[in-house]
Amino acid sequence: MHSKYFVWDFSPTFLRSGRIHLPIPVSVVGLILSAVIYYAGYRYTAGKASGTESAEGMQSSEGSGVTEDSYQAAAGSSGSPSRSVSGFRAGALIVASLIVGQLLTVPLSLGIIRAFGPLTIRWYGLMWDIAFLLGYLLGLKMFRDAGKPVQRLDSLLLYVMIGTVLGARLGQVLFYTPDFYFAHPIQILEIWNGGLASHGAAAGALIAVWLYVRKYPDMKYLWVLDRIVIPAAIGGAFVRIGNFFNSEILGHVSHLPWAIIFERVDLLPRQPSMLYEAGWYFIGFFILWRLYSRYKGAPPDGLIFGVFLVYVFSGRILIEFTKTHQADFTAGWPIKMGQLLSIPFILCGIWLLARKVKYKESAGV
């Protein structure tokens, strides 16, 4: 049997270090204090930068036909430009905060760490990192195409990262293994042990973007969603490759020529469902990017997001037929949990494309 099918026995661990001894003792209390110092310093530095930008903006508006009201409208409801700190200043502020926090608390000998580890880097986590890095680079291009400040992309990335991870974790807890996690609630926090659901990640990202546009009222919700789903498509492909390294999201036993034996699970040939999804997401990325390019970077608001919802989750429903049940309590159901959760997203996408998108407003075609 092993000669007929491809056998996957690759370790999910990318790198594992031994115990690392620190050159100097580090105070946990000092780290907490450093975070407080950094936050205060960031707010102060950003506030000064904001005041300078505001003054320069008002000076440049004199004689240019730009009124104070229009300047404030462009800056947002707060009446001031978005506050940000350059990468160099932020890095220097981090280093200074760490040093000051340790100098103030190391003499107290509270919660001293002299070594840590071993550290384990997994392929799955590495694929998530690649997904967010590609997302940032693609977002950088799209924000520049629209003339948006890069600092707003930095803020968006933070919102989406937090929303995606929290949503993915809660999705796994609520929709796939509620019995286990409700019986062991402390393990909900142990996210490093795995257990993330893509539907929860999508919902978490939607909420995160909604919170983000509340901070920047001059940015439209659908406009932002159009520009995060393109990176989300290719990011989803890399995440599914991470599932492949973990030998998870397995398909049914199959005797197709491309069936794979996941030796770390069992010796049965199975459909590589996670690779089906990865391929589907890669194709989806090229479709969405082509659509973005066709409209020269200015598609009608909601168009790309709507296509993403219909395409991605329709494929999810089809590919679920090849998978084993991910939620034990749905074993007797005629429909899998992943299919059930995909239906609202597809309906939302259809509604957007049919009723919400104003196709004639874009001049990019």
pLDDT in tens, 174-211: 877 777 777 877 777 766 666 778 888 889 999 999 99
Cβ 299 vs Cβ 287: under 8 Å: no
Cβ 159 vs Cβ 153: under 8 Å: no
When pLDDT is averaged across residues 74-101 and rounded to a whole number, the result is: 67
Q: What is the pLDDT of residue 343?
A: 94
Contacts 24+ apart (CB under 8 A), 311-315: 311/284, 311/287, 312/233, 312/236, 312/280, 312/281, 312/284, 312/345, 313/342, 313/343, 313/345, 313/346, 313/349, 314/342, 314/346, 315/277, 315/280, 315/284
Is the predicted pLDDT of residue 57 greater than 80, yes or no? no
Q: Where does the pLDDT of residue 364 fall: very low under 50, low under 70, confident under 90, or very high at 90 and above?
A: very low
Q: Where does the pLDDT of residue 87 fall: very low under 50, low under 70, confident under 90, or very high at 90 and above?
A: low
Could you identify the residue written with the tokens 């034996």? 261
Q: What is the pLDDT of residue 228?
A: 94
Domain boundaries, the chain: 6-13+122-361, 20-116
Residue spans of beta strands (DSSP E) within the chain: 6-8, 13-16, 20-27, 112-116, 120-122, 260-262, 269-270
What is the rounded CA–CA span in Å between residue 314 and residue 312? Answer: 6
Alpha-carbon distances, residue 336 vs 256, 330, 344 (angstroms): 22, 7, 14
Residue spans of beta strands (DSSP E) within 100-222: 112-116, 120-122
Highest mean pLDDT among 24-28, 151-155, 261-265: 261-265
Of 5-19, 174-188, 346-360, minimum mean pLDDT range? 174-188
Q: What is the pLDDT of residue 270?
A: 95
Is the predicted pLDDT of residue 108 greater than 80, yes or no? no
Q: What is the pLDDT of residue 29?
A: 85
Q: What is the pLDDT of residue 314?
A: 97
What is the rounded CA–CA span in Å between residue 331 and residue 313? Answer: 21
Alpha-carbon distances, residue 9 vs 195, 267, 356 (angstroms): 21, 11, 48
| Residue range 287-304, pLDDT digits in tens | 999 999 999 999 999 999
CA 179 to chain CA mean position, Å: 27
Torsion of CA 220, 223, 225, 228, to 10 degrees: -120
| Residue range 222-251, pLDDT digits in tens | 999 999 999 999 999 999 999 999 998 899
Is the predicted pLDDT of residue 122 greater than 70, yes or no? yes
What is the rounded CA–CA span in Å between residue 286 and residue 237? Answer: 12
Main-chain dihedrals φ then ψ at residue 223, nearest 5 degrees: -60, -45
Q: What is the DSSP pairing of strand 269-270 with strand 260-262?
A: antiparallel
Angle, helix 123-145 to helix 221-245, in steps of 10 degrees: 160
Residues 6+ apart with CB under 8 A from 9: 263, 264
What is the rounded CA–CA span in Å between residue 248 and residue 53? Answer: 50
Q: Where does the pLDDT of residue 30 fall: very low under 50, low under 70, confident under 90, or very high at 90 and above?
A: confident
Residue 268's region, left for phi above 0, alpha for psi from -120 to 50, else beta, is beta
Alpha-carbon distances, residue 334 vs 13, 105, 129 (angstroms): 36, 60, 36
Q: What is the pLDDT of residue 61?
A: 45
Q: What is the pLDDT of residue 357?
A: 87
Q: Which amino acid is at 182?
A: F
Q: What is the pLDDT of residue 75?
A: 44
Could you identify the residue written with the tokens 């100098």? 103
For residue 121, the cross-strand partners are 15
Of 20-34, 154-168, 221-235, 312-326, minimum mean pLDDT range? 20-34
Is the predicted pLDDT of residue 23 greater than 50, yes or no? yes
Q: Where does the pLDDT of residue 82 fall: very low under 50, low under 70, confident under 90, or very high at 90 and above?
A: very low
Looking at every residue in the chain, the average pLDDT score rounds to 82
What is the rounded CA–CA span in Å between residue 180 and residue 165? Answer: 19
Percent of the chain, pLDDT > 90?
42
Main-chain dihedrals φ then ψ at residue 358, nearest 5 degrees: -100, 90
Alpha-carbon distances, residue 353 vs 71, 181, 207, 301 (angstroms): 34, 38, 21, 10
Q: What is the pLDDT of residue 217?
A: 85
Q: What is the pLDDT of residue 49?
A: 60
Is the predicted pLDDT of residue 62 greater than 90, yes or no? no
Q: Where does the pLDDT of residue 81 fall: very low under 50, low under 70, confident under 90, or very high at 90 and above?
A: very low
End-to-end CA, the chain: 54
